[in-house]
């Protein structure tokens, strides 16, 4: 397994629409393992392929608490096929928008179809944190970020902050 660098705002790749996975093979499973290692290291509870610059429709999620053993879940070609009218609000963050958190309202429950790491079709009904994480991560596959669900004023402010930070970092980078 290998750690992969996580891309952050304002990297334009975060706005790409990821392509469906054709078939599940060892190379894909290796990528999923790298994603899990990268997510655990960050640490985070969900990671989409595009966040390590792989524009394919794969997600890893791990909702195990610190004192519990890791319990990674794998979602290949995930699709939200139903969402509840009932909505809930969670404070969200994103490994690609480090140290920024905001409340986001989304459907409280969803049903998702996906393919597992064995290549078998699966369906899951999710509520609570898993429902939020799945929606947040599936959004990534369509180039959507959680800040797209907050007010334009707040979104513009956070984007500006990250653009400035990226500019500063590039100016400080040593010339090679
Ligand atoms: Zn995210």
> What is the chain's mean pLDDT, rounded?
96
pLDDT digits (tens, 9 = 90+) for 33-76: 999 999 999 999 999 999 999 999 999 999 999 899 999 999 99
Cα–ligand 1 centroid distance for 95 (angstroms): 6
What per-residue confidence (pLDDT) applies to 173? Answer: 77
**Ligand 1 mean position to 68 CA, how many Å?**
23
Band of pLDDT at residue 172, cut at 50, 70 and 90: confident
Give the model confidence (pLDDT) of 130-147 as tens digits.
999 999 999 999 999 999
- Residue in this structure with the two tokens 């792989």, named with its chain if needed: 54
Just list the catalytic residues.
Answer: 137
Give the per-residue pLDDT at 49.
Answer: 98
pLDDT of residue 66: 86
Q: How far is the CA of 51 from the centre of ligand 1 (A)?
A: 8
Give the integer Cα–Cα distance in Å for 20 and 55: 9
The mean per-residue pLDDT over the stretch 94-114 comes to 98
């Amino acid at each position: 397994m290998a750690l992969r660098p996580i891309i952050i705002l304002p990297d334009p790749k975060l706005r790409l629409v990821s392509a469906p996975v054709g078939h599940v093979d060892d190379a894909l499973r290796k990528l999923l393992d790298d994603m899990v290692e990268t997510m655990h290291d960050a640490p985070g509870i969900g990671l989409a392929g595009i966040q390590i610059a792989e524009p394919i429709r794969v997600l890893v999620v791990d909702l195990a608490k610190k004192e519990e053993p890791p319990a990674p879940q794998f979602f290949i070609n995930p699709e939200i096929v139903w969402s509840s009218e009932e909505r809930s609000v969670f404070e969200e963050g994103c490994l690609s928008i480090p140290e920024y958190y905001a409340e986001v309202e989304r459907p409280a429950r969803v049903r998702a179809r996906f393919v597992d790491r064995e290549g078998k079709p699966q369906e899951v009904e999710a509520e609570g944190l898993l429902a939020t994480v799945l929606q947040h991560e599936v959004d990534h596959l369509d180039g959507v970020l959680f800040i797209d669900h907050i007010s334009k004023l707040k979104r513009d402010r956070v984007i500006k902050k990250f653009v400035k930070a990226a500019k500063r970092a590039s100016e400080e980078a040593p010339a090679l």
